[in-house]
Copies of this chain bind each other. A is one copy, B any other.
Amino acid sequence: MNNQQFERPIMKTLSIKDIAVKAGVSITTVSFIINGKAKEKSISEAVIKKVEKIIKESGYKPNQIARSLRTGNSNIIGLIIEDISNSFFSRIARLIEDKAYKKGYKIIYSSTENNVDKAKELINMFKSRKVDGYIISPTMGIEEDIQVLLADNKPVILFDRNLSGVDTNYVGADHFKASYQSIESFIKKGKKKIALVTTDIDVEQIIERFEGYKQALVDNNIPYAEELVLKIQFNQDEAETIEEMKKLFLSKDIDAVLFATNYLAISGLKTLKQLNKKVGDEFSVIAYDDHEIFELHTPSISAVQQPLEEIAETVIQLILNQLSSKSKLENQKVIIPAKLIER
């Protein structure tokens, strides 16, 4: 690498003081004008105009850091998700970002990779950056940290998965029901040997999907058989996942399978492709969480579609309510129905 060096010219950035001096008024006056308190503080129209003109011309932007230090809030919302490269999360993130942005809030996000330590660290980092509120798709084990946030009176909205130990806001889909309905749709088609491929992480939404699966079987007089449930280790290498699935698909005379997450479904489709086994009348598949792939696949794959837009909207609504209210609002759990898209 070529390390030829240049001198660093120093360009002083403008401060409120510079504006005040230029306008011949006090810092206070400028501050009032910037913050829209000019009327309230009865600053004369002439002064307002003059200061605003100078601000516009000079391109002055208040230092948000100083502002945050003084006011104690940052207009930033921390978003903690499992993995931004998962399309479910990236799409939610995008929606949340858009909506927050329109209300003057910015988002800092980070991925936990479903790792408790990283999640805790992220919460700490956000805390020391004084974010105004938290939107979290939690991992197990951060209950206490969330309690601390709540004790500190910060708004916290959990989404996608609830944390049974903590009493806070939650927005998520009705996973039990969606799972139940998926299985019922299999049964209506005459399926008998219905498998479930799920992950081994113990989070509420995964458990619910599992429960929905079991309950639907039982309610329809099909005995629940443990060997038809494959639990894939989280973060396991995809090749290994495919091997495990192959075993399942080959050994039992399975005629339908519900995948509890979209990435598992994708691995499942890869598995089927390798086995040269076609999805169709004798072998039905439903994926949990829709994905562009499923629509395009030949044949198209049915999927449970979570109402992303609605989830994002609710999440942002809840947090903004909390942020604008001086007192703590009562916690809400919002369960939104998910939709089975049959293809």
List residues of A whose CB falls within 8 A of some B CB: 1-11, 13, 61-66, 68-69, 74, 83-85, 87, 90-91, 93-94, 97, 101, 106-111, 124-125, 127-130, 151-153, 266, 269-270, 273, 292-293, 295-298, 321, 326-330, 332
Specify the chain B residue showing the minimal Cβ separation from A93.
Answer: B84
Specify the chain B residue showing the minimal Cβ separation from A4.
Answer: B330
Chain B nearest Cβ from A258, distance in angstroms: 18
- Does A85 contact B74, Cβ atoms closer than 8 Å? no
- Does B84 contact A9, Cβ atoms closer than 8 Å? no
- Does B295 contact A292, Cβ atoms closer than 8 Å? no
Chain B nearest Cβ from A68, distance in angstroms: 5
- Does B93 contact A13, Cβ atoms closer than 8 Å? no
Which of B2, B101, B125, B329 lies in contact with A106, CB distance below 8 A?
B125
Answer whether A107 and B107 are a contact pair too, CB < 8 Å, given A9-B153, A13-B152. no
Specify the chain B residue showing the minimal Cβ separation from A108.
Answer: B108
* Chain B residues with CB under 8 A of A9: 151, 153
Which of B107, B130, B293 lies in contact with A293, CB distance below 8 A?
B293
* A-B pairs with lowest CB-CB distance, top 4: A90-B90, A5-B327, A85-B94, A64-B128
- Does A63 contact B327, Cβ atoms closer than 8 Å? no
Which of B94, B151, B321 lies in contact with A84, CB distance below 8 A?
B94
Q: Most chain-B Cβ atoms within 10 A of its Cβ — which of A129, A269, A295, A298?
A: A129
* Chain B residues with CB under 8 A of A8: 153, 326-328
- Does B293 contact A270, Cβ atoms closer than 8 Å? no
Which of B6, B94, B330 lies in contact with A328, CB distance below 8 A?
B6
* Chain B residues with CB under 8 A of A328: 5-8
Which of B2, B65, B292 lies in contact with A130, CB distance below 8 A?
B65
Answer whether A298 and B295 are a contact pair too, CB < 8 Å, given A83-B94, A127-B61. no
- Does B296 contact A273, Cβ atoms closer than 8 Å? yes
- Does B65 contact A94, Cβ atoms closer than 8 Å? no
CA distance A101 to B13 in the complex (A): 28
Q: Most chain-B Cβ atoms within 10 A of its Cβ — which of A94, A151, A266?
A: A94
Which of B3, B66, B108, B109 lies in contact with A329, CB distance below 8 A?
B3
Chain B nearest Cβ from A60, distance in angstroms: 10
Specify the chain B residue showing the minimal Cβ separation from A300.
Answer: B273
CA distance A90 to B63 in the complex (A): 29
CA distance A109 to B329 in the complex (A): 30
- Does B61 contact A65, Cβ atoms closer than 8 Å? no
CA distance A296 to B297 in the complex (A): 8
* Chain B residues with CB under 8 A of A111: 94, 97
* Chain B residues with CB under 8 A of A64: 125, 128-130
Known: A2-B332, A101-B110. 8 other contacts (CB 8 A): A2-B329, A7-B327, A9-B151, A65-B68, A106-B108, A106-B125, A293-B293, A298-B298
* Chain B residues with CB under 8 A of A85: 87, 90-91, 93-94
Answer whether A11 and B69 are a contact pair too, CB < 8 Å, given A83-B94, A296-B270. no
Answer whether A321 and B1 are a contact pair too, CB < 8 Å, given A63-B128, A151-B9, A328-B6. yes
- Does B107 contact A110, Cβ atoms closer than 8 Å? yes
What are 28 A-B residue pairs whose CB atoms fall within 8 Å in the complex? A2-B332, A3-B330, A5-B328, A6-B328, A11-B153, A61-B124, A61-B128, A62-B128, A63-B128, A64-B128, A65-B129, A84-B93, A84-B97, A85-B87, A85-B90, A85-B91, A85-B93, A85-B94, A97-B110, A97-B111, A106-B125, A107-B110, A266-B296, A270-B295, A273-B296, A292-B293, A296-B297, A297-B298
